[in-house]
C-alpha cells in the first residue's frame, strides 16, 4: 500500500484494475446524524456543500451578469461589472470570450482566440498559472458554469455509474487529444495570420477557424450561440413559430449535444470535465502541485473499511491510493465533497 502510494505520488497515475463498470449507491447522508457534533457550532449554517452551491449559483449568474444590465439598463451596474472585468478578465474555467453577456471569460477560451488572432496570450497564461498554483482547480469546482450545471443535474440521482479505474484512465485521455488538436489548430492559424497566409486555412476550417473547440464547447453553445439565435429572431415563441427551429441548422445538433452532456451527467457526474474538457486538461497540468490541496488524517481515516470519499467524489478519484499527507491528483477540483461526507472527519485541507 505504501509502495503504491509512493508510485502514485511520483507518477500521478492511478492503479489499473480489471475492467468493469460499477454502479455505486451514494452513501446515506442521514447517517451523519449519528455522528458526534462537530466543534464548529455554526456548521449547519456554514455547511460546506451549501456554501459551494451558493457560490456556484452566484457565479453562474455573475459570469453572464451583463444580462442584468441589459434588463435593467442601469449605467452604474454596467460600470460595476466592467470594473470586475478589468481586474479578472479571464479565470481558469470554460466561458466563451464572445458571449454577449459574459463578464469574465475562461483562460482556455481567451488563449484560443488570442492565438488565432496572431498574438501570444502572455497575460492570460501568466494569470492562469498564478491562479492554478495557488488554488488548484478550485475554479472548476466552484465557479465554472458547465461544472455547476453538471453538479446540479446530478444532485437528485443517488445511484451513480463509476467506470473501473482502467476504463476511467483511458476515457480521460480524450481530453488530452482534444486539447492537442484544438490548441494545435489555434497556434497554426496564429502563425498563418502573422505570415498573412491564413485565408486558405480559414476556408478549410470553416466554423472551427476562430476557435476550434468553440463549436463543440457546451458553454459556447449555451452562452453565445443561443443568445445569437434569439437576437436573430429565431427563437420560437409560440406553436406557430416552432418551425423557426428548422432554420437553426448546425446549431440544432450543437444543442442536442449540450442536452446529451447534461443528461448523461445525471448518472455519470462531471463526465464532460473528466473525459472531454481540453481546458480541464490544461488546468490540471499547472494545478498538480497547487499550494492548496486535500489530505487525510491517518489517525482518523479507515481506508480498509470505508470508501465514502471515493464514492462521493464527482471526479472519480481513488483518494485512498494517494499518500495521506497530500493528494496531488491533477483531477481534483477542490469541491470538498469528500470532506463534507467523510464519516470520520478525516479529510483535511492542506496548504503546502
| Residues found near ligand SF4 in the complex (CB under 6 A) | 93-94, 140, 144, 146-147, 272-273, 277, 279-280, 294, 313, 315, 317, 319, 332-338
Chain residue whose CB lies nearest ligand SF4:
280
Judged by beta carbon, residue 85 or residue 350, the one nearer ligand SF4 is 350
Judged by beta carbon, residue 78 or residue 325, the one nearer ligand SF4 is 325
Judged by beta carbon, residue 179 or residue 248, the one nearer ligand SF4 is 179
Gyration radius from the chain CA atoms: 22
For residues 329 and 293, what is the distance between their CA atoms, to the nearest angstrom?
A: 9
Q: How far is the CB of 334 from ligand SF4 (least distance, A)?
A: 5
190-204 b/e (C-beta count within 10 Å ≥ 16 → b): bebbeeeebeeeeee
Q: How far is the CB of 340 from ligand SF4 (least distance, A)?
A: 9
Residue 345: Cβ within 10 Å count: 14
Q: How far is the CB of 313 from ligand SF4 (least distance, A)?
A: 3
Judged by beta carbon, residue 248 or residue 275, the one nearer ligand SF4 is 275
Helix/strand/coil (H, E, C) string of 208-249?
HCCCCCHHHCHHHHHHHHHHHHHHCCCCCCCHHHHHHHHHCC
Q: How far is the CB of 105 from ligand SF4 (least distance, A)?
A: 12
Residue 295: Cβ within 10 Å count: 19
Q: How far is the CB of 198 from ligand SF4 (least distance, A)?
A: 28
For residues 333 and 144, what is the distance between their CA atoms, to the nearest angstrom?
A: 11
For residues 225 and 246, what is the distance between their CA atoms, to the nearest angstrom?
A: 15
Burial class (CB in 10 A: 0-12, 13-18, 19+), 93: buried
For residues 230 and 244, what is the distance between their CA atoms, to the nearest angstrom?
A: 11
291 near 133, Cβ under 8 Å? yes
Judged by beta carbon, residue 69 or residue 106, the one nearer ligand SF4 is 106
Judged by beta carbon, residue 226 or residue 332, the one nearer ligand SF4 is 332
63 near 94, Cβ under 8 Å? no
Q: How far is the CB of 335 from ligand SF4 (least distance, A)?
A: 4
Grid cell at residue 157 = 440521482
Q: How far is CA 210 from the centre of its chain?
A: 22
Judged by beta carbon, residue 69 or residue 287, the one nearer ligand SF4 is 287
Q: How far is the CB of 104 from ligand SF4 (least distance, A)?
A: 13
Grid cell at residue 87 = 481586474
Q: How far is the CB of 291 from ligand SF4 (least distance, A)?
A: 15
According to DSSP, the residues that pair with 350 across neighbouring strands are 293
Judged by beta carbon, residue 67 or residue 348, the one nearer ligand SF4 is 348
Amino acid at each position: 500500500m505504501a509502495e503504491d502510494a509512493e508510485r502514485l505520488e511520483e507518477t500521478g497515475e492511478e492503479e489499473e484494475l480489471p475492467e468493469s463498470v460499477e454502479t455505486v449507491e451514494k452513501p446515506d447522508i442521514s447517517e451523519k446524524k449519528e455522528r458526534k457534533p462537530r466543534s464548529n457550532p455554526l456548521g449547519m449554517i456554514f455547511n460546506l456543500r451549501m456554501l459551494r452551491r451558493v457560490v456556484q449559483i452566484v457565479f453562474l449568474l455573475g459570469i453572464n451578469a451583463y444580462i442584468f444590465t441589459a434588463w435593467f439598463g442601469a449605467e452604474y451596474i454596467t460600470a460595476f461589472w466592467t470594473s470586475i472585468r478589468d481586474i479578472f478578465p479571464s479565470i481558469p474555467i470554460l466561458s466563451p470570450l464572445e458571449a454577449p453577456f459574459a463578464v469574465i471569460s475562461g483562460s482556455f477560451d481567451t488563449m484560443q482566440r488570442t492565438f488565432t488572432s496572431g498574438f501570444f496570450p502572455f497575460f492570460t497564461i501568466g494569470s492562469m498559472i498564478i491562479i492554478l498554483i495557488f488554488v488548484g482547480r478550485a475554479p472548476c469546482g466552484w465557479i465554472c458554469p458547465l461544472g455547476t450545471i453538471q453538479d446540479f443535474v446530478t444532485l437528485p440521482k443517488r445511484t451513480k455509474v463509476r467506470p473501473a479505474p482502467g476504463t476511467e484512465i483511458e476515457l480521460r485521455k480524450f481530453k488530452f487529444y482534444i486539447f492537442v488538436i484544438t490548441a494545435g489548430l489555434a497556434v497554426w492559424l496564429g502563425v498563418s495570420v502573422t505570415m498573412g497566409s491564413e485565408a486558405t486555412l480559414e476556408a478549410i476550417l470553416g466554423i472551427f477557424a476562430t476557435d476550434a473547440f468553440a463549436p463543440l464547447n457546451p458553454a459556447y453553445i449555451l452562452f453565445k450561440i443561443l443568445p445569437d439565435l434569439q437576437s436573430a429572431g429565431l427563437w420560437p415563441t409560440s406553436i406557430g413559430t416552432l418551425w423557426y427551429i428548422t432554420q437553426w441548422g448546425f446549431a440544432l445538433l450543437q444543442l442536442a449535444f449540450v442536452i446529451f452532456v447534461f443528461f448523461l451527467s445525471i448518472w455519470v457526474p462531471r463526465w464532460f470535465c473528466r473525459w472531454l474538457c481540453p481546458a480541464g486538461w490544461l488546468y490540471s497540468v499547472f494545478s498538480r502541485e497547487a499550494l492548496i490541496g486535500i489530505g487525510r488524517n491517518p489517525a482518523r481515516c479507515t481506508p480498509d473499511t470505508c470508501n465514502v470519499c471515493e464514492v462521493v467524489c464527482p471526479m472519480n478519484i481513488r483518494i485512498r491510493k494517494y499518500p495521506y499527507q497530500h493528494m496531488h491528483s491533477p483531477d481534483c477540483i477542490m469541491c470538498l465533497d469528500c470532506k463534507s461526507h467523510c464519516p470520520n472527519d478525516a479529510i483535511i485541507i492542506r496548504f503546502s
